[in-house]
Amino acid sequence: MEFPMRLNKYLAQEGIASRREADVLIEQGKILINGQKAVVGQKVTEGDEVELVGQTKKKQYYAYYKGRGVITHSPAQHETDIAMRLKQDYGLTDVSPIGRLDKDSEGLIILSNDGRITAPLLDPESKSEKEYEVLVDKNLSGMAQRLMSKGVDIEGYKTKPAKLVANPKNAKRFRIILTEGKKHQIRRMCAALGYQVQTLKRVRVVNIELGKLKPNQFRKITGEELQIFLNKLGL
């Protein structure tokens, strides 16, 4: 962070509130800087102690790499889910996965305790992008690429238009960007066109990228990255 910084921006980058919410909290006298009530427009300098009066839990946001074989939610007996891994390996219990990835898929899951992000992140009407790397069992034809981009009929439902980028070095590999998330959607789209998915990895959600994370690793989402993410979700 670069200081000095406007208080509402600081609160947003810390995940405490959006800028609009922050200004309301400041006007209500619920934000203290070094023990004194803050005022709208005030700036924070490095080392200042900022406190939300009556704060319960600070909002947290993480990018997490779900490995293959791990269940996102509601595991059956003898299965492992994300919550179990987080608690067992990191003692992390106060955030939950937003959305799903099926057992055989891997990649990026957003973890948070901020319920506000669930609807805009998962509602197809919000058009929040999710990007995937896919490997299929045979070379993807130009016709299949065009059909997947325009929408594929899967059991009576036509998928929304998607962005597809072929891999110039391997015709079995491609990237696809969706704005919806029907159950097993990419696998079903591929199957409808005569392809079987070999590997499927989500590499981006909105502006949050998987990057260099490895399975069962996570990183905190903060600062400008968090502010862009929340802004794109309308928060």
Structure letter (DSSP) for residue 71: B
Of 10, 48, 66, the C-alpha closest to 215 is: 66
* DSSP string computed for 201-235: EEEEETTEE-TT--TT-EEE--HHHHHHHHHHTT-
Read off the amino acid at residue 35.
G
On whether the CB atoms of residues 195 and 139 are closer than 8 A, the answer is: no
Q: Is 137 a catalytic residue?
A: no
3-state secondary structure (DSSP) of residue 111? strand
Residue tagged active-site, from 48, 89, 94, 102: 102
- Residues involved in catalysis: 102
